[in-house]
Amino acid sequence: MPSKQLRLGLNIDHVATVRNARGGDHPAPLRAALLAKAAGVDGITAHLREDRRHIRDLDLPLLKNEVDLPLNLEIAPTEEMVQIAVQHKPHAVCLVPEKREEVTTEGGLDVAGLKDRLQPLVKELMSAGCRVSLFIEADIVQLKAAANLGVPVVELHTGRYCEASGASRSIELDRISAAAKDAKFLGLECHAGHGLAFDSVKPIAAIPEIVELNIGHFLVGEAIFMGLKEAIGEMRRLMDEAVGN
Ligand code: PXP
Protein backbone atom coordinates (compact mmCIF):
# COMPACT_ATOMS: atom_id res chain seq x y z
CA MET A 1 0.00 0.00 0.00
CA PRO A 2 1.50 3.40 -0.90
CA SER A 3 2.35 5.52 2.14
CA LYS A 4 0.75 8.91 2.65
CA GLN A 5 2.10 12.10 1.08
CA LEU A 6 3.38 14.29 3.90
CA ARG A 7 3.96 17.90 2.92
CA LEU A 8 6.58 20.14 4.49
CA GLY A 9 5.91 23.86 4.75
CA LEU A 10 8.80 26.13 5.70
CA ASN A 11 7.87 28.99 7.98
CA ILE A 12 10.24 31.78 7.00
CA ASP A 13 9.34 34.28 9.73
CA HIS A 14 12.71 34.12 11.38
CA VAL A 15 14.62 34.93 8.21
CA ALA A 16 12.66 38.18 8.42
CA THR A 17 13.47 38.51 12.13
CA VAL A 18 17.19 38.54 11.30
CA ARG A 19 16.62 40.94 8.42
CA ASN A 20 14.64 43.31 10.63
CA ALA A 21 17.40 43.36 13.26
CA ARG A 22 19.33 45.77 11.01
CA GLY A 23 16.47 47.42 9.19
CA GLY A 24 17.77 46.60 5.70
CA ASP A 25 16.74 43.89 3.29
CA HIS A 26 19.28 41.16 4.08
CA PRO A 27 18.64 38.26 4.54
CA ALA A 28 15.62 38.43 2.25
CA PRO A 29 12.72 36.06 3.03
CA LEU A 30 12.09 35.78 -0.73
CA ARG A 31 15.59 34.42 -1.32
CA ALA A 32 15.09 31.90 1.50
CA ALA A 33 11.75 30.86 0.01
CA LEU A 34 13.31 30.32 -3.43
CA LEU A 35 16.12 28.30 -1.91
CA ALA A 36 13.62 26.28 0.11
CA LYS A 37 11.68 25.51 -3.06
CA ALA A 38 14.86 24.25 -4.71
CA ALA A 39 15.48 22.14 -1.58
CA GLY A 40 12.08 20.50 -2.03
CA VAL A 41 9.63 22.09 0.41
CA ASP A 42 5.96 21.95 -0.59
CA GLY A 43 4.91 25.34 0.69
CA ILE A 44 5.94 28.57 2.37
CA THR A 45 4.34 29.76 5.59
CA ALA A 46 4.57 33.31 6.90
CA HIS A 47 2.94 34.96 9.92
CA LEU A 48 2.02 38.61 9.42
CA ARG A 49 1.87 39.79 13.02
CA GLU A 50 0.05 42.87 14.16
CA ASP A 51 3.38 44.42 15.21
CA ARG A 52 5.13 43.30 11.97
CA ARG A 53 8.02 41.96 13.99
CA HIS A 54 9.02 39.56 11.23
CA ILE A 55 7.12 39.33 7.93
CA ARG A 56 5.91 42.71 6.64
CA ASP A 57 3.19 43.70 4.22
CA LEU A 58 5.68 44.25 1.40
CA ASP A 59 6.91 40.65 1.71
CA LEU A 60 3.50 39.25 0.86
CA PRO A 61 3.27 40.03 -2.88
CA LEU A 62 6.84 38.80 -3.32
CA LEU A 63 6.17 35.50 -1.56
CA LYS A 64 2.84 35.08 -3.32
CA ASN A 65 3.91 35.99 -6.86
CA GLU A 66 7.60 35.17 -7.15
CA VAL A 67 7.72 31.75 -5.54
CA ASP A 68 5.98 28.95 -7.36
CA LEU A 69 4.70 27.33 -4.17
CA PRO A 70 1.48 27.60 -2.19
CA LEU A 71 1.67 30.41 0.37
CA ASN A 72 0.12 29.74 3.77
CA LEU A 73 -0.46 33.06 5.50
CA GLU A 74 -0.87 33.00 9.26
CA ILE A 75 -2.88 35.86 10.72
CA ALA A 76 -4.76 36.82 13.84
CA PRO A 77 -8.54 36.64 13.46
CA THR A 78 -9.13 40.38 13.07
CA GLU A 79 -10.95 42.33 10.38
CA GLU A 80 -7.74 44.26 9.52
CA MET A 81 -5.77 41.07 8.94
CA VAL A 82 -8.56 39.41 6.99
CA GLN A 83 -8.73 42.44 4.67
CA ILE A 84 -4.99 42.10 3.99
CA ALA A 85 -5.40 38.38 3.29
CA VAL A 86 -8.36 39.00 0.98
CA GLN A 87 -6.29 41.58 -0.91
CA HIS A 88 -3.38 39.16 -1.49
CA LYS A 89 -5.37 35.93 -1.78
CA PRO A 90 -2.75 33.44 -0.59
CA HIS A 91 -3.47 29.76 -1.24
CA ALA A 92 -4.19 29.20 2.46
CA VAL A 93 -4.88 31.29 5.53
CA CYS A 94 -4.27 29.88 8.98
CA LEU A 95 -6.00 31.76 11.79
CA VAL A 96 -3.87 31.84 14.91
CA PRO A 97 -4.33 33.46 18.32
CA GLU A 98 -2.06 36.44 18.84
CA LYS A 99 -1.07 38.36 21.92
CA ARG A 100 1.15 41.36 21.39
CA GLU A 101 3.48 40.56 24.29
CA GLU A 102 4.00 36.86 23.54
CA VAL A 103 7.33 35.62 22.17
CA THR A 104 5.62 33.13 19.87
CA THR A 105 2.13 31.70 19.32
CA GLU A 106 1.53 30.31 22.78
CA GLY A 107 -1.55 28.17 22.42
CA GLY A 108 -4.28 27.21 20.03
CA LEU A 109 -7.19 29.35 18.96
CA ASP A 110 -10.26 29.06 21.21
CA VAL A 111 -12.57 28.28 18.30
CA ALA A 112 -15.38 27.14 20.59
CA GLY A 113 -15.29 30.37 22.60
CA LEU A 114 -14.79 32.69 19.61
CA LYS A 115 -17.11 31.05 17.10
CA ASP A 116 -19.37 34.09 16.65
CA ARG A 117 -16.37 36.32 15.94
CA LEU A 118 -14.72 33.75 13.69
CA GLN A 119 -17.76 32.90 11.57
CA PRO A 120 -17.85 36.08 9.40
CA LEU A 121 -14.04 36.16 9.07
CA VAL A 122 -13.92 32.54 7.92
CA LYS A 123 -16.75 33.22 5.48
CA GLU A 124 -14.95 36.24 4.02
CA LEU A 125 -11.70 34.32 3.57
CA MET A 126 -13.43 31.33 2.02
CA SER A 127 -15.38 33.58 -0.36
CA ALA A 128 -12.05 35.06 -1.47
CA GLY A 129 -10.93 31.53 -2.37
CA CYS A 130 -8.48 31.01 0.50
CA ARG A 131 -8.22 27.58 2.10
CA VAL A 132 -8.86 28.35 5.75
CA SER A 133 -7.25 26.46 8.57
CA LEU A 134 -7.55 27.00 12.32
CA PHE A 135 -4.55 26.53 14.60
CA ILE A 136 -5.91 24.65 17.61
CA GLU A 137 -4.93 22.53 20.56
CA ALA A 138 -5.48 18.80 20.17
CA ASP A 139 -8.90 18.93 21.83
CA ILE A 140 -12.19 17.43 20.69
CA VAL A 141 -14.19 20.52 21.74
CA GLN A 142 -12.05 22.71 19.47
CA LEU A 143 -12.17 20.18 16.64
CA LYS A 144 -15.97 20.01 16.72
CA ALA A 145 -16.18 23.81 16.79
CA ALA A 146 -13.84 23.97 13.77
CA ALA A 147 -15.95 21.44 11.88
CA ASN A 148 -19.09 23.42 12.72
CA LEU A 149 -17.51 26.56 11.25
CA GLY A 150 -17.08 24.68 7.96
CA VAL A 151 -13.31 25.14 7.57
CA PRO A 152 -11.55 22.44 5.53
CA VAL A 153 -8.36 22.26 7.62
CA VAL A 154 -7.09 22.34 11.20
CA GLU A 155 -3.47 22.63 12.29
CA LEU A 156 -2.71 20.93 15.60
CA HIS A 157 -0.37 22.80 17.97
CA THR A 158 2.63 20.58 18.71
CA GLY A 159 4.33 23.02 21.11
CA ARG A 160 3.47 21.18 24.33
CA TYR A 161 4.58 17.86 22.83
CA CYS A 162 7.91 19.36 21.74
CA GLU A 163 8.57 20.94 25.13
CA ALA A 164 7.68 17.79 27.09
CA SER A 165 10.04 14.92 27.77
CA GLY A 166 9.77 11.29 28.86
CA ALA A 167 6.32 10.09 29.88
CA SER A 168 4.78 13.55 29.46
CA ARG A 169 5.89 13.61 25.84
CA SER A 170 4.16 10.26 25.22
CA ILE A 171 0.97 11.64 26.77
CA GLU A 172 1.14 14.71 24.52
CA LEU A 173 1.80 12.52 21.49
CA ASP A 174 -1.22 10.34 22.29
CA ARG A 175 -3.35 13.47 22.58
CA ILE A 176 -2.23 14.70 19.15
CA SER A 177 -2.67 11.28 17.61
CA ALA A 178 -6.23 10.95 18.98
CA ALA A 179 -7.08 14.47 17.80
CA ALA A 180 -5.77 13.70 14.30
CA LYS A 181 -8.11 10.70 14.14
CA ASP A 182 -11.02 12.82 15.37
CA ALA A 183 -10.18 15.47 12.76
CA LYS A 184 -10.36 12.92 9.98
CA PHE A 185 -13.62 11.54 11.35
CA LEU A 186 -15.06 15.08 11.33
CA GLY A 187 -13.96 15.55 7.71
CA LEU A 188 -11.13 17.95 8.51
CA GLU A 189 -7.71 17.81 6.84
CA CYS A 190 -5.11 17.68 9.57
CA HIS A 191 -1.82 19.63 9.69
CA ALA A 192 0.55 20.07 12.62
CA GLY A 193 3.29 22.42 13.69
CA HIS A 194 5.11 24.51 16.27
CA GLY A 195 8.42 23.74 17.87
CA LEU A 196 9.21 20.70 15.69
CA ALA A 197 12.87 19.78 15.39
CA PHE A 198 14.97 16.84 14.20
CA ASP A 199 14.50 15.05 17.53
CA SER A 200 10.73 15.48 17.70
CA VAL A 201 9.44 15.29 14.14
CA LYS A 202 9.26 11.56 13.47
CA PRO A 203 6.46 10.51 15.87
CA ILE A 204 4.31 13.39 14.57
CA ALA A 205 5.14 12.62 10.93
CA ALA A 206 4.16 9.00 11.53
CA ILE A 207 0.58 9.86 12.57
CA PRO A 208 -1.37 8.62 9.52
CA GLU A 209 -3.98 11.42 9.45
CA ILE A 210 -1.44 14.28 9.49
CA VAL A 211 -0.65 15.36 5.93
CA GLU A 212 1.31 18.61 6.40
CA LEU A 213 3.91 19.90 8.86
CA ASN A 214 4.80 23.58 9.15
CA ILE A 215 8.23 24.11 10.61
CA GLY A 216 10.15 27.35 11.02
CA HIS A 217 12.28 28.37 13.97
CA PHE A 218 14.31 25.17 14.17
CA LEU A 219 15.04 24.98 10.44
CA VAL A 220 16.06 28.63 10.17
CA GLY A 221 18.21 28.25 13.29
CA GLU A 222 19.80 25.04 12.07
CA ALA A 223 20.52 26.71 8.73
CA ILE A 224 23.17 28.75 10.55
CA PHE A 225 25.10 25.57 11.23
CA MET A 226 24.41 23.31 8.28
CA GLY A 227 22.80 25.52 5.62
CA LEU A 228 19.11 25.89 4.78
CA LYS A 229 19.15 23.36 1.96
CA GLU A 230 20.83 20.77 4.17
CA ALA A 231 18.52 21.45 7.14
CA ILE A 232 15.45 21.03 4.92
CA GLY A 233 17.00 17.89 3.37
CA GLU A 234 17.57 16.31 6.78
CA MET A 235 14.05 17.22 7.96
CA ARG A 236 12.61 15.69 4.80
CA ARG A 237 14.71 12.56 5.26
CA LEU A 238 13.40 12.11 8.82
CA MET A 239 9.81 12.71 7.67
CA ASP A 240 10.21 10.17 4.85
CA GLU A 241 11.68 7.65 7.27
CA ALA A 242 8.74 8.13 9.65
CA VAL A 243 6.21 7.73 6.87
CA GLY A 244 7.97 4.68 5.46
CA ASN A 245 9.07 6.15 2.11
N1 PXP B 1 2.31 26.64 12.63
C2 PXP B 1 1.77 27.75 13.17
C3 PXP B 1 0.31 27.95 13.06
C4 PXP B 1 2.57 28.74 13.79
O5 PXP B 1 2.02 29.83 14.33
C6 PXP B 1 3.98 28.54 13.80
C7 PXP B 1 4.86 29.59 14.40
O8 PXP B 1 4.64 30.82 13.78
C9 PXP B 1 4.49 27.38 13.22
C10 PXP B 1 3.64 26.43 12.66
C11 PXP B 1 5.96 27.11 13.17
O12 PXP B 1 6.48 26.99 14.45
P13 PXP B 1 8.04 26.93 14.65
O14 PXP B 1 8.60 28.21 14.15
O15 PXP B 1 8.19 26.74 16.12
O16 PXP B 1 8.53 25.74 13.86
What is the mean predicted confidence (pLDDT) over 72-88?
Answer: 97
Q: 17: CA distance to ligand 1 center in Å?
A: 14
Q: Where are the domains of the chain?
A: 7-243
Of the candidates 14, 54, 74, 209, the residue annotated as catalytic is 74
Q: Atom 4 in ligand 1: which residue has the minimum CA distance? A: 194
User: Which residue has the least CA distance to atom 9 on ligand 1?
Assistant: 194
The C-alpha angle with vertex 147 and arms to 146 and 150, in degrees rounded to 5, equals: 95
> Which tens digits make up the pLDDT trace of 198-241?
999 999 999 999 999 999 999 999 999 999 999 999 999 999 99
Classify strands 189-193 and 131-136 as parallel, antiparallel or unpaired.
Answer: unpaired
Assess whether pLDDT exceeds 70 at residue 1: no
Looking at the DSSP bridge assignments, the partners of residue 153 are 133, 189
Q: What are phi and psi of 48, to 5 degrees?
A: -85, 100
Query: Which pLDDT tens digit goes with each residue over 166-205?
Result: 999 999 999 999 999 999 999 999 999 999 999 999 999 9
27-69 confidence digits (pLDDT tens)? 999 999 999 999 999 999 999 999 999 999 999 999 999 999 9
- Identify the pLDDT of residue 38: 98
CA nearest to 114, candidates 136, 82, 132: 136
Residues 98-155: tens digit of each pLDDT = 876 666 667 899 999 999 999 999 999 999 999 999 999 999 999 999 999 999 999 9
* Long-range contacts, stretch 110-114, CB < 8 angstroms, 24+ apart: 110/142, 111/136, 111/142, 111/145, 111/146, 111/149, 112/141, 112/142, 112/144, 112/145, 114/77
Give the distance (Å) from ligand 1 centre to CA of residue 223.
17
Kindly state the helix (H) or strand (E) to which residue 156 belongs, with its residue range.
strand 153-157
Q: Is 47 a catalytic residue?
A: yes
Q: Which are the contacts of 104, defined by CB distance < 8 A and separation ≥ 6?
A: 194, 217
Question: Cβ–Cβ contacts within 10 Å for residue 21, how many?
Answer: 8
What is the CATH T-level fold of the domain 7-243, as seen in this structure?
TIM Barrel (3.20.20)
1 Cα: distance to centroid of ligand 1 (angstroms): 31
Q: Which atom of ligand 1 is nearest to the CA of 47?
A: 8
For the question of whether the overall pTM of this predicted structure is more than 0.85, the answer is yes
Confidence (pLDDT) at 98: 81
